[in-house]
Structure 1
Amino acid sequence: MTTALEPVLSVRQVLTLDRVLAGEPEVVAGAGHLDRPVRWVHVAEAADVGVMLSGGEMVLTTGVLLAGDEEKQVEYIRSLYRAEAAAVVLGLGRAFPAPPDVMRRAAERCGLPMVVLHRPFPFAELTEEVQSRLVRRKFATVSLSESVRTALTGLITAGAPLQRLLDEIALHAGCPVVLANLAHRVLATAGERSAVDDVLRDWERIARQAGVGEGDRWVRAELGGRGEHWGRIVLCGYRGDSPIGRLLAERAAEALVLHRMLGGAAHSWEEQSAQSLLTDLALGVVPPRQLLPRARAAGLPVNRRTFVPLVIRDGDPVALDRVLRLLGLPGLVAELGDGATAVLLSLARDQDAAALAAYFATRLRTESEAGAPVVAAADACTAWEGVPAGLREARHVADAVAEHTAALDLPVVVRLKDVRLRGLVRLLRDNPHVQSFAERELDGLLCGPDAEPDLLAVLRTYLATGRNKSRTAQLHHVSRPALYRRLEAIQVRLGVDLDDFEQAASVHIALLAHDTQHR
């Protein structure tokens, strides 16, 4: 990643310098363009001055070679405009005792800021002042860039976790920092707690509308590599200069991409809150091979074994461990949070993995005192490296079942095929392509100041009931005509025909993905 940032002053800032104010500057044209960046200061009198410029210069002139020739005056302004000069400063004196109207009108037409100095002073003083400030800003910018890069690289080299990197970024930025995926889902935050809470209070709406202009002080940089984006870092309410903010965001993005690459994670940061051995396996933050010593130390056989990843919903970890001992099954148990517990069975290669998983689930139901827990499983794998993917798949299946248990006729051990489309969508919810698909399909209902959550709820019910209008109207307590009007509004906003099966299916999948990402 490279940055196009340059340490510049604006025309407006140059006009506030003491040495410039001593010349009594007056803006006579292009007043609406004073925020143009000044890359350099150049003294030029020739009519074809543009050939000497490369863009961004503030040109100083006395107009001595232009006096009395209106055609040359117009060409002078046009030449500056073609060369993309930042502004022209005319010192009034013998050549032009008053602002030349021809030059002023030409500059106004071109949108080129034109400033006249009513009191003469040596141009060399202005040139020296601006150049010295530009050099100092350049040095300060380079120094800041290297300071941030050195600090973040040092943390990565030391193996610091993601949160430590974000804390360092927030320290330099002086504002809340948010790491989000393409669906605007917050993965991690840093900064003063109260300020972060303010940002997150209405995050999704703000995130969709912020960062589009230079005035909102939200600075973002995209995260990705190999031609694919998978998230963004956002400086929320950055108070410094916009170019410096962009530099900080870009340096932060570079560090986060490097951190992700060196961490060996094959998936997103959504799961990095995990703490146990099984959670580390599920995340892949540490390569599975490096976790083998920890697995062995925990008493799990790992050589020439078949591994069965399970995730149990609403199961007591103590009861799970007791059942493992009763059945004589080698395995590890770890709480994942949110009512989910992971179990990794380690079986001999000649044992029937599916039958033993079902036996374990059946016995667990008899041992449970608080209802029948849901047991989700991934396919058994003989390679230790396959365990992380299996644990993630089992977790997704368990979560999908927990959300839609009433709508599913479940076996004793639930697998991905048992939860059908909902399970597949949940499994892929962190995939950037799925996030982009959901955002694109539902854009008409999610974005804009007139976004209506009620229409989204109606769409959700209508699709969940198999496009049953009577049932949808009943569930939302509205009349059939009122429902028809809402469905028509939904179709207009989304640009789809819900009576067309393929279009309705596409919207349904996008809605499932959106709900899964934001549940």
Structure 2
Amino acid sequence: MTPTLAALVDRPDLGLLVRAGAEHLDRPVQWVHTSELADPTAFLEGGELLLTTGLWVRTGAADYVRRLHAAGVAGLGFGTGLTCATVPKAVIAQAEALGLPVIEVPRQVPFIAISKAVAKAVAAEEYAAVTRAYQAQRALTSAAVRADGVTAVVRQLARRLDGWAVLLDPRGTVRAGDSPVLGQLRSELPRLQPGPASLTFELEGAEIAVQTLGVGRRIRGYLAVGRGARLTRADQQVLTTAASLLTVGFEQSQVVEAATRRLRGGVLRLLLAGETELAAEIAAELWGDLPAAPVRVALASGPSRQRLAAVEQAGDAFHAPYEDSLLLVVGADAELAFTGLHVGVSDPGEYAALAQALRQASRALATAVRAELPVVRFSELADDGVLRLVDPEVAGIFADRLLAPLVEHDATGRGELIASLRAWLAHNGQWDPAAAALGVHRHTLRHRIAKVGQLLGRDLDSADTRAELWLALRLRD
């Protein structure tokens, strides 16, 4: 710790005597300065123990003491036995009134002895701080190379600073450590954007320091620490070391992840190109054996966090990025329901048919996204008919446009062309069954269907026309 006036007074070898401000001896002494000027404040920075023999006494003791107090000195050391036999009463009275410690330095005690004592204490403190910082940096470096490096670094940082430490991702979610003021801390994070930046502020009686993590202006996360006492310069160095280690770890992780994605993408391209043996050999060397055939291809779409969770849940499945989705090659019986994702699944097949399976999974995924379903298997599309393959919005436009003349006609109350057309098509153009289903005479039905053809400008004897009309009616339903 920085030496205090009390520590100097307690040294028997110095023989110092307190003459005023005894209740303020806990003030730290940053340095010792000697001056006989009547106004030495221009040469002071604050925190000094000013030593003098009192050559200035005749110029006004009270004003002199007031100037020293305003300059923020830690105390006044008055050497007696030279200019003055004792410390002047005016000095003691004014110092006592202001709360400024005054220490008598006897004639036999040289000023240099006090300077040396303070200098040694300051040097010892700086050495201790450097030693603590060095030990902390070594401990943080050792923690960074552990398997749980991120968590270990944050935990070690909290221990070394004797406070709390927390690591947040760019969205403010806790990745490691903890903080008693998480809510308030998150509210301060926008002040650090776009980064890089650091921030120190007080909150609920604690000093909190936050640093952004990342290279350049891209923020990978935030490292925050807090404790009741202020952070020293050595503490700030320890915090900076931890931030640097975590940044390096993040950047290395990003590089490794990017390289891994490229490797998996390359293996996928080999599989789609039919190079199954080579792809299997590379995959086995890097990640383990490919799933045994028959296999399915699954495409999962959704937030990146849920996609990462799906990879962990899929276990031994081969996975690779594919466009904006996650591709999984899994066993035929694998469970493929993932929280927060839409998944399209192909039919089972051999690796030689993987490209076809990918097309099936893509179509199933498109349907899952449109219908807001968690999982759609390609086999279900065929079971449910062609309508499930059609985009609802596009289909609605097609149906409304094609049938618009009939809808407008029916709205006038002059007939039921839509219902008549539906019944006629449902009975394969047979007049009597269709008319019976509608409860009208077949001649009435013939007249209505003729009106349909006239309004639409279509040949209703054409199979293509009938198919389009039937599809429009189904879509409209």
Q: TM-score, normalised by structure 1?
A: 0.45
Higher RCO by CA contacts (8 Å cutoff, separation 6 or greater): 1
Q: TM-score, normalised by structure 2?
A: 0.49
